[in-house]
Amino acid sequence: MTMMNVNENGNNDALLDDAEEMNIEPVAGGLAEDFTHAPRAPRRDLPQMMRKIPVTLTLEVGSARISLQDLMNIGPDSVVELDALAGEPLVIKVNGTAIGRAEVVVAGENYGLKVIDLDGLNLDMMTS
């Protein structure tokens, strides 16, 4: 990490040092307006990089809208009716956005999800 050193004239010496390391010639005004002579950074595989971004995958059973009074009365053995029908596929969400439907399965000693359909997962359009 480069520390920025600003001298008494308000110039940023660290940026100039970085430019020299990358063989970029400083121009009048401190900004290079023509980047044709600057070495190009290696082209990165954006789709490959995106595959490493962590996301949160959740399976939503349903929801219920209740009053604060009803919420205050919830305790052990309380049952709150949800808006989903029993046996209906559950909603798969990625970072809170619905992308499909699934059902709950047992995977070893944990619960898992079996994908029924994916209708909101289109990462290809993000990379084109």
The answer to whether 101 and 116 have CB atoms below 8 angstroms apart is yes
User: Are residues 55 and 11 both part of a single domain?
Assistant: no
- Considering the domain architecture, whether residues 10 and 55 belong to the same structural domain is answered as no
pTM of the predicted model, to two decimals? 0.53
Token pair for residue 25?
A: 């010639």
Q: Which domain holds residue 70?
A: 46-127
90-106: pLDDT as tens digits: 999 999 999 999 999 99
Q: Answer whether 57's CB lies under 8 Å from 93's CB.
A: yes
Among the residue ranges 3-7, 34-38, 61-65, 81-85, the one predicted with the least confidence is 3-7
- 24 shares its domain with 52: no
> How many angstroms from the chain centroid is the CA of residue 122?
14
Total structural domains within the chain: 2
* Dihedral sign, Cα of residue 4, residue 8, residue 9, residue 10: positive
* Pair 23, 52 in one domain: no
Residues 67 and 98 in one domain: yes
Are residues 18 and 70 located together in one domain of the fold? no
> Predicted confidence band at 60 (pLDDT cuts at 50, 70, 90)?
very high
Q: Same structural domain for residues 68 and 24?
A: no
pLDDT digits (tens, 9 = 90+) for 23-38: 444 444 544 444 455 5
Residues 117 and 61 in one domain: yes
CB atoms within 10 A of CB 102: 20
Co-location of 34 and 52 in the same domain: no
Pair (56, 81) in one structural domain: yes
With a CB cutoff of 8 Å and minimum separation 6, the contacts of 88 are: none
Distance from C-alpha of 98 to C-alpha of 52, rounded to nearest angstrom: 20
Q: Are residues 67 and 109 in the same domain?
A: yes
Phi, psi of 9 (to 5 degrees): -85, 0
